[in-house]
């Protein structure tokens, strides 16, 4: 009789004990798999920083400045400008006149080989507002072909001579798949005001994203060449980087 009572008593305790043990096991498993515990132990794969993807594009520079040179190439001045740009590890965009490319193809090839962008400035430096559609297309397309022959790259951008733009010019350029590219700061080097005046004007107008207009052709560019090292040195010291606009 005593043995039977003890057996019944043990059976009555077994069920709660089993339930308690099950709860305890669940708690321990949950604790072991908790994200916080893995993180403290050195980080689970889910919490680890993802690896950098191969081939991702680096972020653009924080303070870009876009140097642009019009009306070349010109055998006297363009090589001097290229040498200065190389010294400061600066990249620029050259908007070239097609007939000058035809005269000096090796210079266009050299500009491209130095890592600069070569873009379209029409064949004869024509005011695009005054042209018929066939003449407009000829000015742009002939220049494209001349540049492409030396660089193996077709220009994406057109800079209208004199900055002369109206709605018709914009529509026609878009129809040819071109982006019109103007400027924010005109160095006015074409007026030949002196290297100091060119330097002062440019440095006073620059902010991140500024497009600066210079010239490497179309006239005497000795003042541009004299001003350029100081401009680049000063902007570099201010944290700017020099990249192509097209």
Contact partners, residue 207, CB within 8 Å, separation at least 6: none
CB atoms within 10 A of CB 243: 16
Domains and CATH numbers, the chain: 64-242 (3.20.20.370)
Q: 146 pLDDT band (50/70/90 cuts)?
A: very high
**For the residues of 146-193, what is the DSSP string, one character each?**
HHHHHHS----EE--GGG---HHHHHHHHHTT-EE---SEE--GGG--
30/53 Cα distance (integer angstroms): 34
Residue 35, by phi and psi: left (phi above 0), alpha (psi -120 to 50) or beta?
alpha
- Give the tens place of pLDDT for each residue, 189-232: 999 999 999 999 999 999 999 999 999 999 999 999 999 999 99
CB 78 within 8 A of CB 216: yes
This prediction's pTM: 0.76
Q: 62 pLDDT band (50/70/90 cuts)?
A: confident
- Give the tens place of pLDDT for each residue, 82-123: 999 999 999 999 999 999 999 999 999 999 999 999 999 999
Q: Can you list the alpha helix ranges (DSSP code H) found in the chain? A: 2-32, 35-40, 78-87, 98-103, 105-113, 133-151, 167-175, 195-205, 222-237
Is residue 24 predicted with pLDDT exceeding 60? no
Residues classed as catalytic: 70, 215
Q: Report, as an integer, the average pLDDT of 117-140.
A: 99
222/125 Cα distance (integer angstroms): 21
- Residue 60's pLDDT is what? 61
- Residue 162's pLDDT is what? 98
- Token pair belonging to 127: 């005011």
């Amino acid at each position: 009789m005593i043995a039977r009572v003890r057996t019944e008593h043990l059976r009555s305790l077994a069920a709660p004990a089993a339930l308690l043990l099950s709860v305890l096991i669940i708690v321990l498993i949950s604790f072991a798999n908790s994200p916080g515990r893995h993180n403290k132990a050195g980080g689970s794969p889910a919490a680890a920083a993802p690896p950098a993807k191969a081939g991702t594009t680096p972020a653009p520079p924080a303070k870009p400045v876009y140097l642009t040179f019009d009306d070349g190439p010109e055998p006297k001045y363009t090589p001097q400008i290229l040498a200065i740009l190389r010294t400061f590890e600066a990249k620029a965009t050259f908007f070239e006149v097609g007939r000058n490319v035809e005269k000096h193809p090796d210079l266009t090839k050299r500009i491209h080989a130095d890592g600069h962008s070569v873009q379209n400035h029409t064949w004869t430096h024509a005011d695009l507002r005054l042209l018929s559609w066939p003449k407009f297309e000829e000015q742009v397309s002939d220049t494209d072909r001349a540049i492409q022959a030396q660089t193996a790259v077709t220009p994406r951008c057109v800079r209208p001579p004199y900055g002369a733009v109206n709605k018709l010019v914009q529509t026609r350029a878009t129809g040819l798949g071109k982006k019109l590219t103007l400027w924010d700061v005109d160095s006015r080097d074409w007026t030949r005001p002196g290297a100091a005046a060119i330097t002062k004007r440019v440095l006073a107008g620059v902010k991140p994203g500024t497009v600066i207009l210079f010239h490497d052709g179309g006239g005497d560019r000795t003042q541009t060449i004299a001003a350029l090292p100081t401009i680049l040195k000063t902007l570099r010291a201010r944290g700017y980087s020099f990249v192509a606009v097209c």
